[in-house]
Chain A
């Protein structure tokens, strides 16, 4: 096992991938899109298998053909919309903040816009280009009078989630997260995937390829279908929100310690 972290630097991923290739590793495992494309390019010469995980849209990233496969962390949009509807029966608009340069976010926003009407919502999406613009984006959404925020797994936005929550808490607008960590930070609730489970699933695929039971071509990428509902009772209480019993029963409570 040789771990390397590119530290958000795209050029670093190139050199790390080449480092792996020169060491003749049996397999490269890449987390998230940029690492995966870097590894996949470096693996071209020797056709080293690449297993990826946490990529929202492997098809758009060009990783569905060739010696690469893995898991997608596509968000359970329907489940999330359903959860918001149950927790806020009166809500009309959902505000989403996302970064225009993160393909995962762009495709997820499109997904939300396509499905929102089914649950009686309209989406108010604000795109930003840098972390410094996020809080301004949050102000814009609050001013537009959205009923709640729905947070994606957008790296740039999640990085400053606490400062968004500060603003929304003041305005009395609940923020929904997309995975357990965001709920721990202070989002009210989330229908999210379990990244631990995602990793386990990816590991199983990697093992199959390494043992020679199948090649990457033979295994299509997998999307995790199971999701959990996470609640933060403290945050819910602050917003004076009540959770219907059927949701509360199966939900996992993850209050900030």
Chain B
């Protein structure tokens, strides 16, 4: 049981990287960014190719984040400079990425067990001793999820980060500050998609494989976690948005694991996930209502 909890939480921590990205586009910029379904496997494709060719596992994370940023830039450029609607700009990049990902990885790609990943390399092994892989995965994912969270929290407080938040809330303000809101939007998409590609890279390390279809539905997952997270913590204003989506991601993965563990009919799995998801939202709303009544 404990093992199952650990591996489920690990999944939540890894996918939290993706949730941060969706949080930036959807919640802060108010931009429904469908690039995610393409930039997630993009990160995995680049990582798989690099791992197979013997590159340092940590270096792959950097490269994945950079190519993800490029994908985000494309969507931003198409939207801001070519005046294409936000939803369509994302769809265009996502569609193009499907081919690009296949081109990079050349069909699906497996990374053999003899290849070192971020979870199994001399550095991590040295630091964590002979800890079972299950725990190493938990610690490394926790470290990644927290470090990215802290960097984002810090960034949101900088002048540049405040501008980003302003574009979503009140873009007229940005213009009055004599800043170009278009470039701020592009920057937001760049950051978001580099995080999404980073998530794809970590998943590739964890799964030791890239599949062209692995991006399908990731945006749905991302939106769900952002909504779960922000709903759960709506009344607790001291909880940062990044913390909320981190928890949201873990909660979502737990919902799925519960659905699997209950041994429900496989064809109903998605339906059960939807019901659990709805239950969380309703409970979140009820709590909010109670606070109001009490006040």
Which B residues are CB-close (under 8 A) to A34?
Answer: 211, 213
Which B residues are CB-close (under 8 A) to A14?
Answer: 11, 203, 206-207
How far is it, in angstroms, between the C-alpha of A2 and the C-alpha of B267 when the chains are bound?
A: 15
Within 8 A of A (CB), among B255-275: 256-257, 260-261, 263, 266-267, 269-270
How far is it, in angstroms, between the C-alpha of A106 and the C-alpha of B211 when the chains are bound?
A: 14
Which B residues are CB-close (under 8 A) to A19?
Answer: 4, 257, 260-261
Q: Which of A3, A12, A16, A61 contacts B108 (CB 8 A)?
A: A61
- Helix, strand, loop or mixed for chain B's interface? helix
Within 8 A of B (CB), among A1-60: 2-12, 14-16, 18-19, 21-23, 33-34, 37-38, 40-42, 44-45, 60
Residue pair B260, A33 in contact (C-beta under 8 Å): no
Which B residues are CB-close (under 8 A) to A6?
Answer: 266
Total contacting residues, chain B, CB less than 8 A? 41
**Would you give the shortest CB distance from A43 to chain B, in whole angstroms?**
10
Binds A, one of B25-33, B110-118, B140-148: B110-118
Within 8 A of A (CB), among B197-251: 203, 206-209, 211-214, 216-217, 221
How far is it, in angstroms, between the C-alpha of A44 and the C-alpha of B206 when the chains are bound?
A: 10
How far is it, in angstroms, between the C-alpha of A60 and the C-alpha of B48 when the chains are bound?
A: 13
Residue pair B270, A45 in contact (C-beta under 8 Å): no
Residue pair B113, A66 in contact (C-beta under 8 Å): yes
How far is it, in angstroms, between the C-alpha of A54 and the C-alpha of B3 when the chains are bound?
A: 30
Residue pair B99, A129 in contact (C-beta under 8 Å): yes
Which B residues are CB-close (under 8 A) to A62?
Answer: 110-112, 208-209
Residue pair B113, A33 in contact (C-beta under 8 Å): no
Within 8 A of A (CB), among B1-50: 1, 3-4, 7-8, 11
Q: Which of B206, B209, B217 contacts A9 (CB 8 A)?
A: B217
How far is it, in angstroms, between the C-alpha of A42 and the C-alpha of B221 when the chains are bound?
A: 21
Contacts A18-B7, A34-B211; A7 near B110 (Cβ below 8 A): no
A65 sits at the interface (CB 8 A): yes
**Would you give the shortest CB distance from A132 to chain B, in whole angstroms?**
12
Contacts A9-B217, A33-B108, A65-B112; A22 near B208 (Cβ below 8 A): no
A100 sits at the interface (CB 8 A): yes
Contacts A7-B266, A12-B256, A65-B112; A38 near B4 (Cβ below 8 A): no
How far is it, in angstroms, between the C-alpha of A143 and the C-alpha of B111 when the chains are bound?
A: 41
Residue of B whose beta carbon sits closest to that of A45: B133
Which A residues are CB-close (under 8 A) to B257?
Answer: 15, 18-19
B134 sits at the interface (CB 8 A): yes
A103 sits at the interface (CB 8 A): yes
How far is it, in angstroms, between the C-alpha of A23 and the C-alpha of B5 when the chains are bound?
A: 12
Residue pair B8, A38 in contact (C-beta under 8 Å): no
Contacts A3-B266, A44-B113; A101 near B260 (Cβ below 8 A): no
**For B110, B133, B257, which residue has the most chain A Cβ atoms within 10 angstroms?**
B110
B58 sits at the interface (CB 8 A): no
B277 sits at the interface (CB 8 A): no
How far is it, in angstroms, between the C-alpha of A220 and the C-alpha of B269 when the chains are bound?
A: 35
Residue pair B133, A21 in contact (C-beta under 8 Å): no
Residue pair B266, A5 in contact (C-beta under 8 Å): yes
Contacts A19-B260, A19-B261, A45-B132; A103 near B266 (Cβ below 8 A): no
Q: Which of B1, B110, B212 contacts A60 (CB 8 A)?
A: B110
Which A residues are CB-close (under 8 A) to B207?
Answer: 14, 37-38, 41
B107 sits at the interface (CB 8 A): yes
How far is it, in angstroms, between the C-alpha of A61 and the C-alpha of B111 when the chains are bound?
A: 9
Within 8 A of A (CB), among B141-171: none
A63 sits at the interface (CB 8 A): yes
How far is it, in angstroms, between the C-alpha of A12 and the C-alpha of B3 when the chains are bound?
A: 17
Which B residues are CB-close (under 8 A) to A40?
Answer: 208
**Would you give the shortest CB distance from A7 to chain B, in whole angstroms?**
6
How far is it, in angstroms, between the C-alpha of A18 and the C-alpha of B256 when the chains are bound?
A: 12
Contacts A3-B266, A9-B217; A15 near B112 (Cβ below 8 A): no
Which A residues are CB-close (under 8 A) to B213?
Answer: 8, 10, 34, 101
Which B residues are CB-close (under 8 A) to A7?
Answer: 266-267, 269-270
Which B residues are CB-close (under 8 A) to A10?
Answer: 211, 213-214, 216
B102 sits at the interface (CB 8 A): yes
How far is it, in angstroms, between the C-alpha of A21 and the C-alpha of B114 when the chains are bound?
A: 20
Residue pair B260, A21 in contact (C-beta under 8 Å): no
| B residues lining the A interface (CB < 8 Å) | 1, 3-4, 7-8, 11, 98-99, 102, 107-108, 110-114, 132-134, 203, 206-209, 211-214, 216-217, 221, 253, 256-257, 260-261, 263, 266-267, 269-270
**Other 18 A-B pairs with CB < 8 A, given A7-B270, A37-B207:** A2-B263, A7-B266, A8-B213, A10-B213, A10-B216, A12-B256, A12-B260, A15-B8, A19-B257, A19-B260, A34-B211, A45-B134, A62-B208, A66-B113, A100-B212, A101-B98, A101-B102, A106-B107
Q: Across the A-B interface, give the 3 residue pairs with the lowest CB-CB distance, nearest first.
A: A5-B266, A62-B110, A101-B212
| A residues lining the B interface (CB < 8 Å) | 2-12, 14-16, 18-19, 21-23, 33-34, 37-38, 40-42, 44-45, 60-63, 65-66, 100-101, 103, 106, 129
